[in-house]
Structure 1
Amino acid sequence: MMHRLRGAFESLGDLFWLRPACIVAAGIILSALAIWAEGRANFGPPWWTGWIYSGGEAGARALLGAVASSTIGVAGTVFSITVAALSLASGQMGPRLLRNFTRDGGNQVALGIFLGTFVYALMLLRSVRSADEGAFIPHLGVSGALLLALLCVGTLIWFVHHIANGINVNIVIDLVHRDLSDAILALTSEKPAMSSPAAPLAGTPIAISKAGYLRTVDDEALADWAAKHQTALTLLVRPGDYILPGLPIAEVADPGVASAAQIEIASACSIGSRPAAAQDLEFAVRQLVEVAVRALSPGINDPFTATAVLDHLGAALTEVAPRNLAGNVLLRDGTVALHRKVTDYAGLCDAMFHMIRQNAASSAAVLIRLIDVLQKALQVEKRPERQAILVRHAQLALAVGRTSITDPVGLSDLESHFAALTASVARRDDQQTAHLPQRMAGEL
């Protein structure tokens, strides 16, 4: 259930119009409250009465008209600036990062404030009546319009600053890294996960007719269902995979419950037109890698951006080091109820470094930074199986550099950095070997 709720909240964040619509509705309600309170206001001698608008009908209409016309004009400017920023970001950092701009609450709220102020002033303007029409001037409402106009001025200043920072590639990389850090905290744990090296037995294939990206899966519900029917389920896909109609996505051990399993799996899986970060640990990794790959393209040729991405990927590896990735089985009463595909450490490192290494084959600077990042990750990582994966990627970087780098000095630097990495690994192995007899003696 929590996975389904997380997926629903993430889908709401993709709706650019949602926050502006809520603020517009708040402006309508606020104008109605101002009109309602006008007949019950007591303008006595307190000090704050001097701040309340005290002009006539013509001044109220002129002021509200000025606020309405100016705010709707600025709202159009804000929208134009946002579209221009999206176009620039799409060309510089890739179209898939546009999701981060459309989900940006600051852009949505800024547009909503201008539109909400426009609607508020417009609703008040229709209530202003002259003496011939029954004399009604919403003094409190006009004063509120002045305050909202000042708020719009401050919002415009903030928005220009915000959009200027938003298209800065370093800030964008940092924002995506924060998403990756949040995903690491949400999808990993400090406790060891239950995993089984044995492959599940083949069962009756289960397919669904819907196509799209698998966004979330309610694993717990599927495990509960399998335990209730005394069978086992095997998921053949994981969040982030693209589902093809008619292609099996799961298998059930008991063929007698295949029809019921198909209904349950279709209900537990959320499928959409694009992947989501709710359960996909590699989602933010792919976004960072796309920035680096685009920076390494011949048309841009920006190794500084690629090295910045590698630094943030190294930070992500150090965050993963003390934590455990999700296990591939879920148990019910000591029995395996669900086998599932999960992201393991090797797959995570492959997603981080394969495409960057392949596109940086002739860039000594990027390959050197890649090896340096792996060396720093090795200093933090304590598990031998993970260390072997990091060393493997360093060897791959060295191999591609030897075949593609034509600059002898750059190749020599790459060789020396790899030698430093292997030396640090050797020192750690010697220290562990030296401490092993002491630990054995202590146990005896």
Structure 2
Amino acid sequence: MNARLRKLYDDLSDTFWLVPALLVLLGTVAAFGMIEIDRSGTVPAWLLENWLYNGGATGARTLLGAVASSTIGVAGTVFSITIAALSLAAGQMGPRLLRNFTRDRGNQITLGIFLGTFCYALIVLRSVRTADEGAFVPHLALGVGIALGFICVATLVYFVDHMASRINVDTVIGLVSDDVRRVMRGLTDDAPQPEPPPPAHWRDAEPIRDARAGYLHHLDENGLASWACEHETEIRLLVRPGDYVFPGAPIALIKPPRDGAEEAVRDATALSPTLTSSDDLRFAIRQLVEVAVRALSPGINDPHTALSVLNRLGAALCDMQPVRMKSGVVVKQGRLALVVPHLQYDELVDAMLHMIRQNAAGKPAVLIGMLEVLTQVASVERDPPRLSSVRRHADLVMGDAERDVRGPDDLADVRARYWAFVDMAEHGPLGPFKL
């Protein structure tokens, strides 16, 4: 159930309409509240004379009509600019990055302020009465409406500046790299991790099948482990967040079997038809990699963007130096309860670098940039298995350069960066000066 609630929260966070709808509701409620205060006659005379609108009904209607017509017009412009930004992002940076624009609170609040002000002005307008109609002018509500008009002006200035920065590719790369680091923090730990049991441990396990289909969006590890501990059994999940669950295929193994295991696994997992899991590190990395791959395509040919992505990926690997990837083993009350196939360091580096390297064939600037990033990672990371993974990718880069880079000078530059990496990996930052 916890997984489904988290999925519902993520789905609502991804929707573009929720915040504008709440602001429209707030504007509507505020309009009725201001009108009731005006009707009660509790507005101080000094406030009415010095700060609020104190004209007649005709002027009030003109003023409110101007506020309503202008705000709805600007709201349409804001919506058009947002759609244009989405089209630009989809074409140049990839359709998966549209999620970052639709989730942007600045865009949602801007549209909501204009629509909320429009609804506020309409509701207050309908309460204005001339002398022939009963002579009622809601002075306080009109004053608030004028203040909302000024707020809309400031919001428009903010929106133009906000969108100009959001469509900048470096800004988008920075935002996505922040997502990578956030998810990475949830998958790492400073404490030693328990080792998973060997594959032979599950030889007598019984498979748990799932009739659903979709991407694993959320997983309630603690809830499922608690169920396994309570029923004195062990569960090994065969999928992790971001994996596709095929109908009828085994989703987990259980040893020994227990009644209700299928329901427990179903309650602890939430599926989604689209790959948008906030718990999936590979998805966040794919977003960055897609920006680099599109930048390296012949239609765009922007190696500087690819280098910027490589720098962010290298920074994420440097952040991992003091921590370790979680093993996915959950122990409850001193006994094994759950094993989840968590992402490991080799898989992480592969997801970051394979596709970029494959699309950078024949581009020495990008290959040199990749070797320089790997050199910086090697200067920070001194764990032998991790260094071996980084070294493997440096060897792949060098192999691609030997095969695809035709210019002898360019190839010599790549070789020089490769041997600088080898020296860093073998001797560390001090190099030959190390005692």
TM-score range, shorter chain: over 0.9
SS of the counterpart of 1:29?
helix
Task: Give the aligned residue type for 1:347.
Answer: E
Asked whether the equivalents of residues 378 and 428 of structure 2 are also in contact (C-alpha less than 8 Å), the reply is no
1:241 alignment partner in structure 2: 243
Q: CA deviation at 1:3?
A: 5.6
Runs of 4+ residues over 3 Å off in structure 1:
1-8, 40-49, 428-432
Task: State the shift of 1:282 in Å.
Answer: 1.8
Map residues 47-196 of structure 1 onto 2, 5 A cutoff. 49-196=49-196
- Give the superposition deviation at 1:186: 2.6
Cα root mean square deviation, aligned: 1.9
Distance 2:129 2:337 in 1: 72
TM normalised by structure 1 equals 0.93
Distance in 1 (alpha carbons) for counterparts of 2:190 and 2:116: 46
Contact 2:423 2:431 in 1 (8 A): no
SS at 1:246's partner residue? coil
Residue 307 of structure 2 corresponds to 307
Q: Indicate conservation of the 8 Å contact 1:330/1:339, yes or no.
A: yes
What's the TM-score once normalised by structure 2's chain length?
A: 0.95
8 Å contact from structure 2 (residues 3, 270) kept in 1: no
Would the alpha carbon gap of residues 43 and 197 (structure 1) be closer, same or farther in structure 2, given more than 3 Å must change? closer
Structure 1 residue 124: deviation in Å?
Answer: 0.5
Q: Tell me if the contact between 1:93 and 1:290 (Cα under 8 Å) persists in the aligned partners.
A: yes
Task: Tell me the secondary structure at the aligned position of residue 211 of structure 2.
Answer: coil
Q: Secondary structure at the match of 2:338?
A: strand
One-letter amino acid of the counterpart of residue 156, structure 1: L
Contact persistence 1:368–1:413 (CA under 8 A) = yes
Q: Contact 2:209–2:250 (CA<8 Å) still a contact in 1?
A: yes
C-alpha contact (below 8 Å) 1:214/1:270 kept by paired residues: yes
Aligned twin of 2:202:
201
Q: 2:215 aligns with which of 210, 213, 216?
A: 213
Rounded Cα–Cα distance in structure 2 between residues aligned with 1:180 and 1:429: 27
Following TM superposition, by how much is the alpha carbon of 1:42 offset from its aligned partner in structure 2, in angstroms? 4.5
CA distance in 1, matches of 2:126, 2:358: 64
**CA separation of 1:311/1:158 partners in 2, compared to 1, >3 Å: closer, same or farther?**
same
| One-letter code aligned to 1:170 | D
Question: How many pairs align?
Answer: 432
Alpha-carbon contact 1:293-1:359 (below 8 Å) kept: yes
CA distance in 1 between counterparts of 2:29 and 2:21 reads 12
**Is 1:23–1:113's contact at 8 Å kept on the other side of the alignment?**
yes
Kindly indicate whether the alpha-carbon contact (under 8 Å) linking 2:75 and 2:114 is maintained by their aligned counterparts in 1. yes
- Counterpart pick for 1:231 among 222, 230, 233: 233
**Local SS of the residue matching 2:260:** helix
**1:43 touches 1:49 (CA, 8 Å); kept in 2?**
no
Q: How far 1:6 sits from its partner (Å)? A: 4.2
What amino acid is aligned across from residue 229 of structure 2 in structure 1? Answer: A
Range moving further from structure 2, 387-396 or 305-314? 387-396
Q: 1:124 to 1:340 in 2, by over 3 A?
A: same
Residue 194 of structure 1 deviates from its aligned partner by 2.1
Shift of 1:430: 10
Gaps of 5+ in 2: none
What corresponds to 2:13 in structure 1? 13
Is 1:3–1:278's contact at 8 Å kept on the other side of the alignment?
no
1 CA distance for matches of 2:143 and 2:271?
Answer: 49
Counterpart-to-counterpart distance in 1, 2:226 and 2:44: 67
1:382 positional shift: 2.8
The runs of 5 or more residues in structure 1 that have no matched partner are 436-444
Identity %: 48
Greater Cα offset, 326-335 or 262-271: 326-335
